[in-house]
């Protein structure tokens, strides 16, 4: 953890921003590798492998289960610092079991699909279509649900200072993928209970995350508190395919039915199954689309082939997305008018809605 991060943090227990940082181990770039943050209210948060873990009590088992070695290795130091008996993780509201299952799912996914591909820069530009690299220069950016940290990587490459948060141990992958850049910072935190000061960010983005929450609209509204007046929020959520051909809607219905089984499968078995599914899609759909797109006369046919958007992508990309599609415990889909209403009724201006594989929506606070 770079100490600059302290400038933006607040305690999820009391809302204070007065922290004392005790370092147990320093990393190769001078950051706090292992340590603890102590709030003036007595709440404490572990810093494990370079990342502060600032979760409410109901989600503390995520950290305790995944990083038991930390509490064992530093038991004596933690005991001295926590002499008043406070929990290592601050108390807060209860969370549902679905949230915990989602954290486990995405933690597994990004731990096993951790590579940053060159094509992710094009992916970043797709989600922020209409905004040049210069738009990010000298901006403070929040990536709410950063996964492997690929969007953090490119926002920072374009000159932004970026804070990435994720509920799952995917945050470790994001941290490793961006460790050499001192302008990137990471926190393991709950999107609905962020340990950050309000009215802080020039840009808040949440790409492919909100639709996995129990209450996506509430999650969106909560993020607005962290955007400066004049700042901009970007989201991406799944669409309902209201205007898609009947066969396309039928295919989605079939996938949704299969998900009732796959979301309960052991993840190693699901990963193996997705290898085969992604391979069949790649051979049967993506390669033909790639060939047809080479002809100006046949491009229209290619663009009606399912998954044609992967025609410029490697197999690894569709493999990752296939696992993502079949593993997430919860997904919700929206029509254009529904998602537009999120922005308009919360007073955002200059609202832009782009389609594609889902809704890419942005607006100014």
Domains and CATH numbers, the chain: 3-94 (no CATH), 110-240+332-364 (3.40.50.150), 264-327 (no CATH)
- What is the greatest pairwise CA distance in the chain? 74
Residue of higher predicted confidence among 84 and 116: 116
3-state secondary structure of 109: helix
Letter string b/e over residues 58-71, b meaning 16 or more CB atoms within 10 A of that residue's CB: bbbebbeebbeebe
- Burial class (CB within 10 angstroms; exposed 0-12, middle 13-18, buried 19+) of 315: middle
Q: Answer for the pair 149, 183: CB distance below 8 angstroms, yes or no.
A: no
Residue of higher predicted confidence among 269 and 57: 269
| Mean predicted lDDT score pLDDT of the chain | 89
What distance in Å separates the CA atoms of residue 281 and residue 97, rounded to the nearest whole number?
33
* Nearby residues of 10 by Cβ (< 8 Å), 6 or more positions away: 16, 17, 195, 196, 197
Q: Supply 257's token pair.
A: 């039915």
Q: Supply 46's token pair.
A: 């572990």
User: Would the pLDDT of 95 be above 70?
Assistant: no
Q: What is the DSSP string of 129-182?
A: TT--GGGGTT-EEEEES-TTSHHHHHHHHTT-EEEEEESSTHHHHHHHHHTT-T
- Burial class (CB within 10 angstroms; exposed 0-12, middle 13-18, buried 19+) of 174: buried
The pTM assigned to this predicted structure is: 0.89
Residue 81: what pLDDT?
A: 58
Q: Supply 300's token pair.
A: 């229209």
What distance in Å separates the CA atoms of residue 196 and residue 110, rounded to the nearest whole number?
24
Q: Supply 285's token pair.
A: 């759909």
Q: What is the pLDDT of residues 124-143, one digit of tens each?
A: 999 999 999 999 999 999 99
Q: What is the pLDDT of residues 186-229, one digit of tens each?
A: 999 999 999 999 999 999 999 999 999 999 999 999 999 999 99
3-state secondary structure of 124: helix
């Amino acid at each position: 953890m770079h100490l600059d991060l302290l400038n933006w943090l607040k305690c999820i227990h009391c809302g204070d921003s007065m922290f004392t940082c005790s370092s147990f181990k320093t990393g190769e770039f001078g950051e706090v590798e292992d340590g603890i943050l102590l709030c003036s209210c007595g709440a404490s948060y572990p810093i494990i492998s370079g990342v502060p873990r600032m979760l409410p009590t109901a989600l503390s088992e995520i950290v305790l289960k995944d990083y038991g070695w930390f509490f064992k290795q530093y038991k004596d130091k933690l005991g001295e610092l926590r002499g008043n008996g406070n929990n290592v993780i601050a108390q807060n509201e209860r969370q549902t079991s679905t949230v915990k299952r989602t954290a486990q799912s995405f933690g597994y996914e990004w731990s096993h699909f951790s590579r940053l591909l060159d094509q992710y820069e094009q992916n970043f530009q797709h989600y922020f279509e209409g905004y040049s690299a210069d738009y990010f220069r000298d901006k403070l950016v929040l990536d709410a649900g950063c996964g492997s940290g690929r969007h953090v990587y490119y926002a920072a490459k374009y000159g932004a200072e970026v804070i990435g948060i994720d509920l799952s141990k995917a945050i470790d992958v994001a941290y490793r993928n961006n460790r050499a850049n001192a302008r990137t910072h990471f926190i393991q935190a709950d999107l609905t209970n962020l340990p950050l000061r309000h009215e802080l960010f020039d840009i808040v983005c949440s790409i492919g995350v909100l639709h996995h929450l129990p209450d996506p609209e509430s999650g969106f509204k909560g993020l607005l508190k962290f955007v400066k007046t004049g700042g901009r929020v970007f989201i991406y959520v799944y669409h309902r395919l209201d205007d898609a051909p009947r066969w396309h809607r039928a295919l989605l219905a079939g996938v949704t039915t299969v998900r009732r089984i796959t979301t309960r499968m052991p993840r190693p078995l699901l990963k193996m199954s997705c290898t085969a599914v992604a391979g069949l899609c790649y051979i049967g759909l993506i390669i033909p689309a790639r060939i047809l797109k080479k002809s100006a006369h046949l491009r229209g046919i290619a663009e009606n082939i399912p998954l044609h958007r992967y025609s410029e992508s490697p197999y690894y990309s569709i493999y990752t997305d296939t696992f993502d599609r079949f593993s997430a415990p919860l997904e919700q889909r929206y029509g254009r008018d529904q998602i537009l209403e999120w922005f308009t009724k919360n007073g955002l201006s200059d609202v832009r809605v782009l389609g594609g594989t889902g809704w890419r929506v942005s607006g100014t606070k």
